[in-house]
Structures are given as C-alpha cells and as structure tokens.
Amino acid sequence: MAGKGIYKVLDDKGRVLIPKELRAAAEMQHGDIIKLGIQKGVVTAKKVDLIKVGDKSPQAVEAYVFSAVKTMEKQTLISLAGRLIALLEENTKE
C-alpha cells in the first residue's frame, strides 16, 4: 500500500470516502474522532483520542458526544436519549 495512490472523487457536499484499506492502516474505525487539518496545501486526516481542551466548537462537541456514547451502558444511553428528546420538545415550544 505504501507509495500507491488511491484516487477518489469529491462529492457535491465536499465528502470523500476513505477506502477500507487506508482506514485499517490508520487504525480508523466507525465512530472514531478524526481531526482534519491542512499543512502546506495538503489536507490531513488524523485519528485522535482526545479533543483539544477548551474547544467548544460545534464540531468538537459533536465529536466528543459521539465518542462518549460508544462507551456508555445501554441504560445510560436510554436516559440520555430521554433527556435530549425533552430538550428538543422544550425548544420547539418556544
């Protein structure tokens, strides 16, 4: 795989699929947090275990929540889902 290029087409929403063999080589799995960056005009994608402390951007918060729920027990997830639904219902009444 080293040195061999893989070409992909960017879709209309700016997405590109990272092929399975590249995800495996980078040890990326469904639900992992991937930090995107740019270095010298090259887009980078790096698997991270922690989000930078203090980053409260919507993207960082979403990544943190998705990462956190992977380790939660079923009953905790059900409780969290109930609280989220209640919050949504409150916000739609306003």
- The pLDDT tens digits of the residues spanning 6-43 come to 889 999 999 999 999 999 999 998 878 888 999 999 99
At 53, the pLDDT band (50, 70, 90 cuts) reads low
Fold annotation for 8-49? Pemi-like Protein 1; Chain: D (2.10.260)
> Are 45 and 36 in contact, with CB atoms under 8 Å apart?
yes
- Residues 6+ away with beta carbon under 8 Å from 32: 47, 67
pLDDT of residue 55 exceeding 70: yes
The pLDDT, as a whole number, for residue 94 is: 65
Mean pLDDT score of the chain:
85
- Report domain extents, the chain: 8-49, 51-94
